[in-house]
Amino acid sequence: MLRAEDNKFLTEAGSGTGMGELLRRFWIPVLLSEELPELDSDPKKIVVMGEELLAFRDSRGVVGVIDQYCPHRGANLWLGRNEECGIRCVYHGWKFDTDGRCVDMPTSYPDLNAKDLIRIKSYPVREWGEMIWAYMGPADQMPELPALEMALLPASHRFVTKKWQDCNWVQAVEGSIDTAHFTFAHLSFEKEENEILDIKKHFVNPLTRVATDHMRWIAEDPRPVIKINPHEAGLTVAGGRLTGSDNIYWRIAQFLMPFHSYAPSSMPGENMFGQTFVPVTDTNCWIYTYAWNPHRPLTDAEREATPTAMA
């Protein structure tokens, strides 16, 4: 068990906190690309690590992530118009581009050049793997985008979605790499047939196989031996269960810094699953969930069957 002060350090992600400043040194997904589907489409309110922001796709197709509020009178820019490469405030018409620059100030005399003195908070943005990523840290320490395998593949080989979770992001990460809870949280306590159906829904691809032996081992041994292998990108976490013989069945998950995880390994050729955990506040988070297959495109049926919760 963690001490209260350690738990506080890990779960607080606001600006100025230790963990919040660490997370801001990495690229963070803030939306799915499909949530800003068209040029000049409606902007989206977002909250990331306690910061109220606004995302929009401008007339060029460029996505901006800026402060949600106009610095003039505090009007919410979400109420404004997304037009001609900028968001125009509904109150006095001040207009801001994707870099947070004020590009038009119709209430000011042109010869004053007042707009050139105004700029609001904005963050660098990239689109990568059907997600919109923002970098919220120091400009001179901006890293490369994370080389997640699913993002390196053609779009046809992956499916990305997201889900809301009412717990802090550390609790969610912990659940994703904890193999012990699988025996109870994802298996039925009734008939073996129900156990198979339940685990198919939550973990394995229901269109490929029914791993009855694996399910039985998980059900029969609730005390997996945990082995951890640190590496330069994070941790490999393995849970070993007895199989009734001299063999051990290992379920292997990956934790990748700072908030990515891969579900326990699939059989060769099967779809793979991963998640990225993004703090909204200190008590809730968005989980970006993705399935991919390195060898072939996903079928429509597989996309529909892709679970939004993996353990």
Asked whether residue 113 falls in the same domain as residue 160, the answer is: no
Q: What is the pTM of this model?
A: 0.87
Asked whether residue 116 falls in the same domain as residue 67, the answer is: yes
Q: What is the pLDDT of residue 50?
A: 97
Give CA separation, 262 vs 114, 235, 255, 272, in Å.
50, 11, 7, 8
CA dihedral 181, 184, 185, 186 (to 10 degrees): 110
Mean pLDDT (10-residue bins), the chain, 311 residues: 89 95 98 97 97 98 98 96 97 97 91 90 97 97 95 96 95 87 66 47 40 73 88 92 85 93 80 96 96 94 69 46
Q: How big is the chain, counted in residues?
A: 311
What domain range includes position 218?
A: 150-305
Residue 274, φ and ψ in degrees, nearest 5: -150, 170
Is residue 142 in some structural domain? no
Asked whether residue 43 falls in the same domain as residue 83, the answer is: yes
Instruction: Identify the CATH number of the domain in which residue 45 sits.
Output: 2.102.10.10
Asked whether residue 163 falls in the same domain as residue 274, the answer is: yes
Domain boundary residue among 104, 136, 168? 136
Is residue 209 in some structural domain? yes
Rounded Cα distance between 19 and 175, Å, is: 19
Cα-trace Rg, the chain: 23
Total of domains in the chain: 2
Is residue 230 in some structural domain? yes
Asked whether residue 122 falls in the same domain as residue 209, the answer is: no
Is residue 261 in some structural domain? yes
Q: What is the pLDDT of residue 211?
A: 54
